[in-house]
Chains A and B, each alone.
Chain A
Amino acid sequence: DSGVTQTPKHLITATGQRVTLRCSPRSGDLSVYWYQQSLDQGLQFLIQYYNGEERAKGNILERFSAQQFPDLHSELNLSSLELGDSALYFCASSVDGPFGAYGYTFGSGTRLTVV
C-alpha cells in the first residue's frame, strides 16, 4: 500500500457518459497529480493541484476537469467520454518541497473502459 488511494479500481461506461475518479493523497502530501496511461501514448501528465489550487496543467482535454478539496482529496471528472479515453488513470502525490526532490508516490490507478 503506497498510501495514495484511488477509487474506483475499475470503471466501465458508455460513450457520451460522465465519470468521476477519486484520489486521496498520502498523509502530509499537499500536491496531487493526475496522469493518463494509454497503450499508444504512455504516461501523460494531465494536471497538478497544490493545497487546493491548480498549479500546473499538461495535456488535459477540455472535456476533463479536476479539483482538490480542503481535505486535500482530489477528483478528476471526465465527460462526453469517447472510446479513446479508455486508459489507466493514475493519481500521485508528493511532499511539499523543491520540485522533484522526493519523487511522486503513485496510487494503484483506475482502469477506465469506455464501450
Chain B
Amino acid sequence: AQTVTQSQPEMSVQEAETVTLSCTYDTSESNYYLFWYKQPPSRQMILVIRQEAYKQQNATENRFSVNFQKAAKSFSLKISDSQLGDTAMYFCAFETSGSRLTFGEGTQLTVNP
C-alpha cells in the first residue's frame, strides 16, 4: 500500500524566517507525482507546489521550494521569508498510476509575528 508520513504534527516559525516541513513516502512505483497542499483556517485545500518523480530538478514556486530525494523517498517543503498568511495545515501527497492522491497526516504550521 502507498503511504505518506509527515512526522511533525506541529511546527512554528518567526515571521521572515525559513522553515522546512518533512515528508516521506513509500511506493513501489517508479513514476509518480508529489504535491504539497495548504489548508488555511478557511479549510480550502490549495495546491502549493508539485514535483514529477522522473525530474531530478527540485521544484520552486516563489518562496516555496522542495528537496526531493528519490532514493530516500523524501519530499520536504522549504518556506522562505515566512509570512503570517502562511499559517495553515500543510499536507504532503502523492499519486501513482494505481492510486489517487494519498495524503499524509498533515503538519500544522504557525507563523509568529
Contacts and interface: CB of A to CB of B under 8 A. Distances in A.
Interface of A: 2, 33, 35, 42-43, 45, 48, 56, 58, 88, 90, 92, 99-106, 108-109
Contacts of A33: 100-101
Interface stretch (B19-27, B64-72, B91-99): B91-99
Q: How large is the interface on B (under 10, 10 to 19, 20 to 34, 35 or more residues)?
A: 20 to 34
A109 B42 CA distance: 10
B95 A100 contact: yes
B102 interface: yes
Summarize B's interface: helix, strand, loop or mixed: strand
B90 interface: no
B105 A103 contact: no
24 contacts: A42-B91, A42-B105, A42-B106, A45-B99, A45-B100, A45-B102, A56-B100, A90-B45, A92-B45, A99-B33, A99-B97, A100-B35, A100-B101, A101-B33, A102-B50, A103-B47, A103-B50, A104-B47, A104-B101, A105-B47, A106-B44, A108-B44, A109-B43, A109-B44
Given A92-B45, A92-B101, 10 more contacts: A43-B91, A48-B100, A88-B43, A99-B96, A100-B33, A100-B95, A103-B35, A105-B47, A106-B37, A108-B42
Contacts of B52: 101
Contacts of B100: 33, 45, 48, 56, 58
Summarize A's interface: helix, strand, loop or mixed: strand
Interface in B1-57: 32-33, 35, 37, 42-47, 50, 52
B103 interface: yes
Contacts of B104: 42
B101 A45 contact: yes
Most buried by B among A2, A92, A100, A104: A100
